[in-house]
Structure formats: C-alpha cells, structure tokens
Amino acid sequence: MIKSLVQYGIALSAMLVIVAPPVVAAGDSAELEQVRARVSDVFDEIEPQHVMTSPVDGWYMIRKGAVVVYISGDGRYLLQGDLIDLDTQVNLSEQSRDEARKEMMSAIPQEHMIIFSPEEVKYSISVFTDVDCTYCRRLHSQINEYLEQGIQVRYLLYPRNGPRSASWVKAEQVWCADDRNEALTLAKLDKEFQTRDCDASMISTHYLMGQDVGLRGTPAIVFENGQLVSGYVSALRLSEQLAATIE
C-alpha cells in the first residue's frame, strides 16, 4: 500500500514528457468512475473530484493541491511527469499546478497570514517563509524595497525542519505575538519580542499548505496567477516578473 500520493510523487524524480496530438477530453464516463474507485482504494486522501480527464486519450489526471500525476484508464499505471503540448509550447502540468495554487492562495483569509502592505497595492504575493532561513531573512531585510515597488507581501510560516524544531517554536511565538509583523521582523534578526500562549495551530495549516503548493525550499513565492518561484528574488526583478504576468 502506498502511504500517500504526495510521498509517492516526491519519491519519483524522473521527468517524462508525453508527446501527443491534442485530444478533446471526454466528460465523466464509466471508465472515469472506475478509475476514481481504484484511486480511492489505493490513496486514502484522494477524493473522487481529485481525479479528472486529461488531454491525452486513455489517461486521467490526479490533482491534489499542486501535486499532479497521471493514471492509465485501466487504473494500473501511475505516471509522474510534465505533460507538454509541443504545438503550443505549453507545459499543461505546470498550468494545472498554477491553477491549483491560485485557488488555494485566494481562499486564505487575510487574518490567517502576516501581511506587509504598501499604500498602493500593484501586486500581491504569498511567501512561505522560515524564520531561520538565510534567504528568507535576506528577502525580509529588504521588505521596504518590495513595498516601494507596490508589492504586498503575504507571509505564511513554513518551518522547514517540521514540528518540534526550533524554527517551529519560533514560528508559534511569532504567531502568538500581539504585533505579528513586528515579531516576525525581530525574530528574523534574532532579537527578542513579546509573545504569549495562544492557539498556534495555524502553523500546521501553513506547513501543510506549503507541501500542497509543491514548494521545494524557502522562501517560496506564489504569484496571484498561481506561478511558483523558489528562492530569493530582488524587489526590482520580482516587480518585472509580476508585471510580465499581467501583460
């Protein structure tokens, strides 16, 4: 029994490109329902709505968060890889991941994040950050430069080493501070700040969401269109990349 789709997907590192002519995806069918039943038997966390038609005849797509894999119509073969349309030069798998990330990020209430906002918001990004991550600290040390570019930074706390790590404890302390923005800034400078006991389960929510978006490290930046950028990007360069998404 495979433990989970996410764990299985991470374990597969080979990239396979399927080249096929465009195929109009059919609607729900008996075969699709059989595939959904098969997937539900193997993966406890997969719901029927996570299994859908794909652009390739005889194959279906499983999408859980931003994890995208494909399964054969007989329910036997599971394939991890990027599906690329060579006619349009579009990575259809990444397009699907972007759509999933866009849906996830847009559904997060403002109060569930730590937000640094300019007077006039031109762009908005969601950033998964680790208090102790070197490049996360570099990004935050230049927060005023991002704000000057009209970029709203919406932080989600993602302690890379997981529960019970020192970074996790710091993230909980930041979340329980009366002024989370100030606490986050001070924590990234290794300075003390006022905190208290509170319900810090939001850290677990952020952590699981980070896994769902498919981040590979921190900082992980998600644009409003769902595009994922891994690592530090300067304010000016980020502004240029964001402008390109709306041109």
Query: Domain check: are 53 and 126 in the same one?
Result: no
pLDDT-derived band at 120, boundaries 50, 70, 90: very high
Average pLDDT over residues 53-80: 90
pLDDT value at residue 16: 32
Give mean pLDDT, residues 106-129.
97
Residue-level pLDDT at 119? 95
CB 38 within 8 Å of CB 78: no
Rounded Cα gap, residues 1 and 41, in angstroms: 10
Question: Using CB atoms within 10 A of its CB, is residue 174 exposed (0-12), middle (13-18) or buried (19+)?
Answer: buried
Residue 124 has pLDDT above 70, yes or no: yes
Let me know: does 116 contact 155? Beta carbons within 8 Å. Answer: yes
pLDDT, one tens digit per residue, over 175-234 is 999 999 999 999 999 999 999 999 999 999 999 999 989 888 999 999 999 999 999 999
Q: Domain check: are 122 and 161 in the same one?
A: yes
Percentages (nearest 5) of helix, strand, coil residues in the chain: 40, 20, 45
Q: Is residue 206 part of a domain?
A: yes
Do the domain assignments include residue 140?
yes
Q: Quick one: pLDDT at residue 28? A: 53
Question: The domain spanning residue 144 has which CATH number?
Answer: 3.40.30.10
Q: In the structure, what pLDDT confidence band is assigned to residue 2 with cuts at 50, 70 and 90?
A: very low
pTM flag (> 0.85): no
Distances (CA, A) of 27 to 32, 52, 167, 199: 9, 9, 46, 44
Q: State the number of CA atoms in the 13 A half-sphere of 226 facing the CB.
A: 19
20-34, 112-126, 150-164: segment of lowest average pLDDT: 20-34
Judgement on whether residues 139 and 227 belong to the same structural domain of the protein: yes
Residues 112 and 83 placed together within one structural domain of the fold: no
Smallest CA-to-CA distance from 83 within 93, 97, 69 is with 93
Please report the pLDDT score of residue 127 as a whole number. Answer: 98
Is the residue at 101 inside a domain? no
Q: Give the pLDDT of residue 44.
A: 84
Q: Which residues span the domain enclosing 238? A: 106-245
Task: For residue range 134-188, list pLDDT tens digits in order.
Answer: 999 999 999 999 999 999 999 999 999 999 899 999 999 999 999 999 999 999 9
What local confidence, expressed as pLDDT, does residue 5 receive?
A: 53
CB 147 within 8 A of CB 118: yes
Average pLDDT for the chain: 88
- Domain count within the chain: 2
